[in-house]
């Protein structure tokens, strides 16, 4: 039996980098905010860099931004922020689109053994 949720479904969408031409990013922004609490995480951008695309009038501004701001090998320590974000957001679902972010996220959540990941591969 399917029960009605008392809260919005929390979705954490993880990308290497968000741009206006990242179609899954555009699609995710347009997901119904009445049913989903949206969180966007970018491996290579800061919150401000991600926000510059969301402020575009064509896109909705109803997502929480999480930028890891990985700029080189030394900033890979920022990947540990992924654990912090996970515990803070407590997503019901995680969607990854790119290979690098997908690999790192898969390893992270394998260690945590908390939830399943939806991975979209481009063909």
pLDDT in tens, 23-66: 788 788 788 888 999 998 888 899 888 888 776 655 556 888 89
| CA–CA dist 29, 71 (Å, integer) | 25
Cβ atoms 82, 105 nearer than 8 A: yes
User: What is the dotted CATH code of the domain comprising 9-119?
Assistant: 3.40.50.2000
Residues 6+ apart with CB under 8 A from 15: 22, 24, 25, 40, 41, 42, 43, 96, 97, 98, 101
Over residues 97-122, the pLDDT tens digits come to 766 666 666 666 666 665 655 556 55
Q: Which residues on neighbouring strands pair with residue 96, listed in sequence order?
A: 14, 119
Single pTM value for the model = 0.77
Q: Would you list the domain boundaries of the chain?
A: 9-119
């Amino acid at each position: 039996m399917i029960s009605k949720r008392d809260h919005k479904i929390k979705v954490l969408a993880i990308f290497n980098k968000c741009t206006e031409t990242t179609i899954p990013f555009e699609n995710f922004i347009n997901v119904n905010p009445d049913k989903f609490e949206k969180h966007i995480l970018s491996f290579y951008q800061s919150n401000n860099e991600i926000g510059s695309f969301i402020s575009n009038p064509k896109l909705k501004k109803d997502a929480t931004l999480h930028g890891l701001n990985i700029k080189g090998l030394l900033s890979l320590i920022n990947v540990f922020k992924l654990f912090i974000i996970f515990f803070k957001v407590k997503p019901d679902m995680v969607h990854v689109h790119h290979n690098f972010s997908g690999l790192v996220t898969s390893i992270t959540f394998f260690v945590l053994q908390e939830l399943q990941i939806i991975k979209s591969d481009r063909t």
